[in-house]
A and B are shown apart, each in its own frame.
Chain A
């Protein structure tokens, strides 16, 4: 059974750094892209970027490039999303999702990680 298990909720202050995780299991982690999707409170889904864990090839949505860093660790089957300096506007739920082989859709999703940034 394919599973993506994300790290828990985080409450941080503006300017702090943060790294959230997404651990894949039930499939060969290096064979599929892993993507990150943002959902701000009461808003829609935003495609942030994807990584191919086998070679760390990354594609960013230009709207997020430079604002976040996507990475992956093949040895632990875990993908990461990190911020160097959080802003209040980063408050959102962040989902990781597995990219389907041979197409551009996400076939399995993590449960979401809530990030709250407040002073």
Chain B
């Protein structure tokens, strides 16, 4: 089964840029999606198909994907961005979805 690897935690000061990575074998050939989950809430889609943003998601959220690493970038980080972030892909070989282990973003 396909494995996605995320760092357990990332810390950043307000106003700075946070980068959250998602590693997987040749992940650049897959479409990567990112979700934000605040404590006690359901997940929220923030980036889909590598780089696209749903309506209502600030432009500060962006994504990229190449080689073996996909990255979610959050610019001008705010206190409200503090949450867990998960990447997700579709594993064509086993025909099911896969989530990464999640990254806790802490705003210092």
Residues in chain A within 8 A of chain B (CB atoms): 35, 37, 44-47, 49-50, 59-62, 95, 97, 100, 103-107, 109-112
Contact A45 B35, CB 8 Å, known A103-B49, A104-B89, A111-B42: yes
B contact residues, range = 20 to 34
Is B102 within 8 A of A44, CB to CB? Answer: yes
Bound CA span A35–B90, Å? 13
Q: Which 7 A-B pairs have the closest CB atoms?
A: A104-B90, A105-B33, A47-B97, A44-B102, A109-B42, A45-B99, A105-B48
Closest to B32 in A: A105
Contacts of B102 in A (CB 8 A): 44-45
Dominant secondary structure at the B interface: strand
14 of the cross-chain contacts (CB-CB < 8 Å) are A35-B97, A44-B102, A45-B43, A60-B96, A97-B43, A103-B48, A103-B49, A104-B97, A105-B31, A105-B45, A105-B88, A106-B35, A109-B44, A110-B42
Is A104 within 8 A of B33, CB to CB? Answer: yes
Contacts of B84 in A (CB 8 A): 44
Residues in chain B within 8 A of chain A (CB atoms): 1, 31, 33, 35, 37, 42-45, 48-49, 54, 84, 86, 88-90, 94-102
Is B94 within 8 A of A107, CB to CB? Answer: no
Contacts of B37 in A (CB 8 A): 45
Contacts of A104 in B (CB 8 A): 31, 33, 88-90, 97
